[in-house]
Amino acid sequence: DRLAADGYRLLRGQKVGIVTNPTGVTADVRHIVDVMHPDARVNLTAVFGPEHGFRGTAQAGGSEGRYDDPATGLPVYDTYLKSGQPLADIFTASGVDTV
């Protein structure tokens, strides 16, 4: 909410990726990806989903792999159980400047 209120000033000129899950909502209970994606003030280019996926569609302990979100068309990268170099490799492959 604060980034949006400030016009995403800190993210201007960056290809932005967001790590989020179903609890990543604004004060008015809209998913942050659905708020950021259509906003021309921010260039959201990738989503990284932990366990259960960013929309909560993956089963516990399951992986959704890499896919495009049907609602936004954004590439979604599964980060469940990823850390260290494997996680860094996912961020690099996504082409984002800022996570």
Q: Which domains, ranges and CATH numbers included, belong to the chain?
A: 2-94 (3.40.50.12170)
Q: What is the mean pLDDT of residues 71-96?
A: 95
Of residues 75 and 54, the one with the higher pLDDT is: 75
pLDDT for 57: 80
pLDDT for 65: 81
Q: What is the mean pLDDT of residues 42-48?
A: 98
pTM of the model: 0.89
Percent pLDDT > 90 in the chain is 80
The CA–CA distances, whole Å, from 71 to 5, 13, 38, 60, 66 equal 24, 24, 11, 22, 15
Q: Tell whether the model's pLDDT for residue 17 goes beyond 80.
A: yes
